[in-house]
Amino acid sequence: MKILVISLAGIGDTLIATPLLHELRANFPAATIDALVMWPGAKDLLEHNRHVNRVFQKNLLKCGKFEALKFLWSLRREGYQLSINTHPQSRIHYRVAAWLAGAQVRISHEYDRFTWLDRWLVTGTLPQDYTRHSIENNFDVLPLIGAQKKLPAHEMEFFLTPGEEKFADAFWSKANLAVRKVLGIHVGSGGTKNLPLKRWPVKNYAGLVRLLNKERPDLHILLFGGPEEAKDHEIVLAQANRELTLEAQTKNLRETAALMKRCGAFLSVDTALMHIAAAVKVPNQIVIEAPTLNVTNWPYRNQFTLVKNPAVNGRGLDFYRYDGGDIKGTREELLACMESVKVADVFATVTRLI
């Protein structure tokens, strides 16, 4: 049996798909199980995953329509019997990708604004449930393919190598962090659609770091992110005590995860790094409530503390649903929404936990 697991949305969504990959392997031990992802970071996190045979990665947004069509059509030569679009992948483009890849059986959840064309592109659908985590929504696929839950428990899986663990140990030693309390911070978020508007303002992060440097000199701060966060890091570092605040210098998401694993706490909105923090079991995980946070994408099986956003107040689904669209609201409204989370509230949460 040949199975293609399609996870073309966010990097965090691919990590959310890893429990399903494990269940597929448990149910079909002799199957070829391949994955199709959009982002290099998604490929990074699936490297060394023992339940996956191959990972195909292609940025279908940047490569141009002709190249994207050619690439997806080439997957037909693999002769997949089954493809699964993991939850959440609400845009019709993801089902077009499944149709082009050509598996005999193509399964997807039904999303808000689902149309007759979405249903035509796949051979089987199942409802999504906003009251359950996306991992549980993914498991609903199993009965449709003659499978069942076989594992006694489930975790998001990120398989680090000894070399990556050694890299993190060396970084920790060089920065003299072994005897320190370390708070990891991710100032970024997803960059597609209008998702950058769910970020807590960088001036607030800078203010928080200044306050922590002053009031908690026992606490070291490690800034995480890629090139897209570089300018924001410059702003934070320019106002910080550089003896207490530093930037995580990593080559890829795998090294980032290895460093995060060693943090004593981690702060972010709902981002891919939030899910990685949950996967590597960072203690004292802190999540700032953004308009995109709901039960389907909470940190899975890792205790976390929510810094409540008075402008959201648990109403994430009023702002953002899986319908292929943007976060609801104007730019000004969403910026004001995230501004409503005060530095003092985040500071109080951090100092209470650490």
The answer to whether the CB of 300 falls within 8 A of the CB of 157 is no
Residues contacting 265, CB < 8 A, separation 6+: 181, 182, 183, 184, 282, 283, 284, 285, 286, 350, 353, 354
If asked whether residues 126 and 167 sit together in one domain, one would say no
**CATH code, domain with 109:** 3.40.50.2000
User: What pLDDT shows up at residue 190?
Assistant: 82
**Residue 256 maps to a domain:** yes
If asked whether residues 63 and 179 sit together in one domain, one would say no
User: What pLDDT shows up at residue 104?
Assistant: 97
Dihedral of the alpha carbons of 22, 24, 30, 31, in degrees to the nearest 10? -120
Q: Which of 119, 145, 171 is the last residue of a domain?
A: 145
**Residue 317 maps to a domain:** yes
User: What pLDDT shows up at residue 49?
Assistant: 98
Residues contacting 64, CB < 8 A, separation 6+: none
Question: Domain range holding 91?
Answer: 2-145
pLDDT < 70 regions, the chain: none
The pair of three-digit structure tokens given for residue 54, joined into one six-digit string: 């191959």
Q: Which of 90, 119, 145 is the last residue of a domain?
A: 145
What total number of domains does the chain contain?
Answer: 2
**Residue 157 maps to a domain:** no
Taking Cα atoms as reference points, which of 53, 51, 11 lies closest to residue 272? Answer: 11
User: What pLDDT shows up at residue 179?
Assistant: 78
User: What pLDDT shows up at residue 269?
Assistant: 98
DSSP 121-133: H-SEEEE--TTS-
If asked whether residues 202 and 108 sit together in one domain, one would say no
